[in-house]
Amino acid sequence: MYHNTTDFLQDHSLTYIEMALRTDWIERVANPDGYGRRTGDCGDTVEFFLTRKNNILQFVSFCVQGCMNTTACCNTIVRFAKGKSIESAWNISPDQVNNFLKTLPEDHFHCAELAVGALYLALTDLVSDNP
């Protein structure tokens, strides 16, 4: 018989659990102002969709094919970016995502790097198509 030696609810912060399980920001947008897609060495794939009004990120969503850690990182990025200026979104870093989640496993820091990298690709697309 298999016995799970870790208890998900005991091993993670409430912030991590909320971000890992949240689904309301998972949405594919047909014609976003900015789009970025990145696949990590681990095989996880992240897509970000951005719409803006003036210089503000009015809508931020993502799609992810990957682990719960990557989902938690993507949700954290949406929380940080939605309603903020494009310039401030460029300041989102993997370390900020990790610090916010509090209990992202050390060996999954690459999930924060992957998610932030996909955001940066979407921001690059946003500013290159809409100066």
Domain residue limits, the chain: 8-129
Can you give the pTM of this predicted structure? 0.92
Confidence category of residue 131, pLDDT binned at 50, 70, 90: low
Q: How many CB atoms lie within 10 A of CB 66?
A: 19
The predicted structure's pLDDT at residue 125: 97
The CATH number for 8-129, chosen from 3.40.710.10, 3.90.1010.10, 3.40.50.1110, 3.30.365.10, is 3.90.1010.10
The predicted structure's pLDDT at residue 4: 55
With CA atoms as reference, report the closest residue to 74 among 53, 91, 49, 51. Answer: 49
Between 115 and 128, whose confidence is greater? 115
pLDDT in tens, 28-57: 999 999 999 999 999 999 999 999 999 999
